[in-house]
Each structure stands twice: as structure tokens, then as C-alpha cells.
């Protein structure tokens, strides 16, 4: 508080500065929740690596089958840790706006082909059908690798959350000043109550299932940031037990 005193010494007013601390509190709460989440996520694979290494050193190593089995788990868990740390670092960079897009002309159709190649094996293993757009060329301005990351994340999720025999389709709509990218699956779907929180960091509808599929719970948070850094929008619609549709709208010119 700062009193205002007039020329003859009388009190003519008071200046009060009020800070709105609710926003600061909210950010602090978010930060501590994030740290708690990160610690928890890192702890799980580390506990597992530690436990299996100890079992091996305690004698299980002499059994060839056990040795192979435990080493496979240790390897998988280390890969998980690696993915998790990469995702966390990546997300923090994007959130601090430390990523400058290297804008170029990108044929999204070509990117979709690369995504299809990457998931080919998983698609075949699960006997899924992957439908691709008919157009051969759909152009936007953006960073090719980032657009690849966006589409790959959505298609990989569709593969993970669609039971055997299902269908995944990637659609492209070339509109006057923007392009729509649609990734649709006939998978397990997401309930209405989970939809609003889907893009939050570490939010997972079913932790066990996500872990099983190697997920970190950060994929969609990263996707949303990447889409927004291209001045785009992402929407999701889903019916539990029927499937999910993610729609991305990217402006053609940055
Ligand atoms: P994760 O690494 O767990 O896949 P994401 O951030 O990519 O994390 O996704 C968050 C959660 O959203 C997932 O754990 C899953 O529950 C749900 N989800 C994402 N994509 C789909 C989809 N195509 N079908 C059903 N659920 C999905």
C-alpha cells in the first residue's frame, strides 16, 4: 500500500497493488503434479530393471531360459525409459517455445505413405486394414518431420487401441486455405468423460493397457503442441466400443 499525501500534508488517497495469485497457484500446482507424475513414471521401469538384475545376479543367470527372459524384460524397460525421457525433454522444449519450425512445402500425402511404412509390421501382425487417401498430392507449409510426428503418433495410437481385424483410415481433405487430416479407427473408443482430458500430459484412459502398448501418456500432449505450433487445431470424437476420429486442421500457409 502506498499512501498519497497532498501538498499540505493531508492524506489524499491510497494506491493498492493487488496481484492475482490464483494463476500463479494454478501453475505451481501443475508443475508439482508434473514432477510427481514424471517421478512415478520413471520409477516403474527403474524398479523393474533393478529387480530383474538382482534376480539374475542372485543365481537366475545360470538358467539359460530365465536369463533370456529377464534380459528381454530389462531391454524393453530400458527402451521405455529412453522413450519417456525423450518425450519429456521434447515436450518441455516445445512448451518453452524453444522449437523453431523450419518451414517448407510439405506434401502431406507423401508423409502419410512414410507413416504407413513405419506401422506396416504392426498393422500386419494385428491383421488390421489400413486405408490411405486417394489424392497423390496435398500440400501445406510446415515442418515435414513435425507433420510426420503428428500423423505417426495418431496412427500408432489407432494401431495400439484397435483390436485385431479392425480398420484404420487416414483421410485428407484439401480445402481452399487449409487441409484436414483425419485419422479414424474402429477401436475400443474413448468415453465422453475422458475426452476433455485426453490431451493432458500423462493422461491415460487405461494405464495398464497404455503401458502394455509401450505408451508414455505424452503422445497426444506433444501432438497438440505441434499442431498448435503450426497454427492448427486438433479435435477428437469417439464412441466407446466403436471407434475414434481425430481431426487436424492445418492452415496451408504459415
Ligand atoms: P499413450 O502413450 O498412453 O498412448 P497418448 O497421449 O498418445 O498416450 O494417448 C493418451 C490416451 O488416450 C491413451 O492412453 C489412450 O487411453 C487414449 N487414446 C489415444 N488414442 C486412442 C485411440 N485411437 N483409441 C482409443 N484410445 C485412445
User: How many Å lie between the centroid of ligand 1 and the Cα of residue 217?
Assistant: 7
pLDDT tens profile 235-247:
999 999 999 999 9
pLDDT tens profile 204-216:
888 777 767 777 8
User: How many Å lie between the centroid of ligand 1 and the Cα of residue 177?
Assistant: 30
Lowest mean pLDDT among 1-15, 84-98, 107-121: 1-15
**157 close to ligand 1 (CB < 6 Angstrom):** yes
pLDDT tens profile 19-55:
777 878 888 887 788 888 888 889 989 999 999 999 9
pLDDT tens profile 221-239:
999 999 999 999 999 999 9
ipTM beyond cut 0.90: yes
Nearest ligand 1 atom to the CA of 211 is 3
Name the more confident of 44 and 125.
Answer: 125
pLDDT tens profile 58-100:
988 899 999 999 999 999 999 989 999 998 988 888 878 777 8
- Among protein residues, the one with the nearest Cα to ligand 1's atom 18 is 157
> CA angle, corner 203, sides to 200 and 205, nearest 5?
135
Decide: pTM greater than 0.90.
no
- Measure the CA–CA gap between 25 and 169, rounded to whole angstroms: 43
CA end-to-end span of the chain: 47
Nearest ligand 1 atom to the CA of 158 is 23
User: How many Å lie between the centroid of ligand 1 and the Cα of residue 117?
Assistant: 21
User: How many Å lie between the centroid of ligand 1 and the Cα of residue 27?
Assistant: 25
User: How many Å lie between the centroid of ligand 1 and the Cα of residue 11?
Assistant: 62
Phi, psi of 151 (to 5 degrees): -70, -40
Task: Give the model's pLDDT for residue 147.
Answer: 97
**224 close to ligand 1 (CB < 6 Angstrom):** no
Q: How confident is the model at residue 14 (pLDDT cuts 50, 70, 90)?
A: confident
Amino acid at each position: 500500500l502506498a499512501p498519497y499525501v497532498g501538498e499540505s500534508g493531508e492524506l489524499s488517497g491510497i494506491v493498492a497493488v493487488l496481484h492475482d495469485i490464483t494463476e500463479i497457484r494454478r501453475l505451481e500446482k501443475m508443475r508439482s503434479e508434473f514432477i510427481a507424475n514424471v517421478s512415478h513414471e520413471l520409477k516403474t521401469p527403474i524398479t523393474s530393471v533393478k529387480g530383474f538384475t538382482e534376480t539374475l545376479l542372485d543365481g537366475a543367470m545360470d538358467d539359460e531360459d530365465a536369463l533370456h527372459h529377464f534380459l528381454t524384460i530389462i531391454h524393453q524397460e530400458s527402451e521405455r525409459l529412453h522413450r519417456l525421457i525423450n518425450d519429456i525433454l521434447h515436450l518441455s522444449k516445445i512448451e518453452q517455445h524453444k522449437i523453431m519450425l523450419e518451414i517448407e512445402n510439405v506434401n502431406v500425402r507423401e508423409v502419410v505413405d512414410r507413416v504407413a511404412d513405419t506401422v506396416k509390421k504392426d498393422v500386419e501382425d494385428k491383421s488390421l486394414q489400413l486405408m490411405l487417401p486417394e489424392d497423390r498430392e496435398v500440400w501445406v507449409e510446415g515442418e515435414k518431420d513435425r507433420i510426420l510426428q503428428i500423423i505417426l503418433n495418431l496412427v500408432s495410437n489407432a494401431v495400439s487401441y484397435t483390436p485385431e481385424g479392425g480398420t484404420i483410415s487416414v483421410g485428407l481433405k484439401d480445402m481452399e486455405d487449409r487441409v484436414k487430416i483425419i485419422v479414424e479407427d474402429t477401436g475400443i473408443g474413448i468415453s465422453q468423460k475422458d475426452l476433455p482430458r485426453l490431451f493432458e500430459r500423462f493422461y491415460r484412459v487405461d494405464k495398464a493397457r497404455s503401458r502394455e502398448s509401450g505408451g508414455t501418456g505424452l503422445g497426444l500432449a506433444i501432438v497438440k503442441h505441434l499442431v498448435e505450433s503450426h497454427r492448427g487445431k486438433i479435435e477428437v470424437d469417439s464412441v466407446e466400443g466403436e471407434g475414434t476420429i481425430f481431426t487436424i486442421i492445418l492452415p496451408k500457409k504459415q
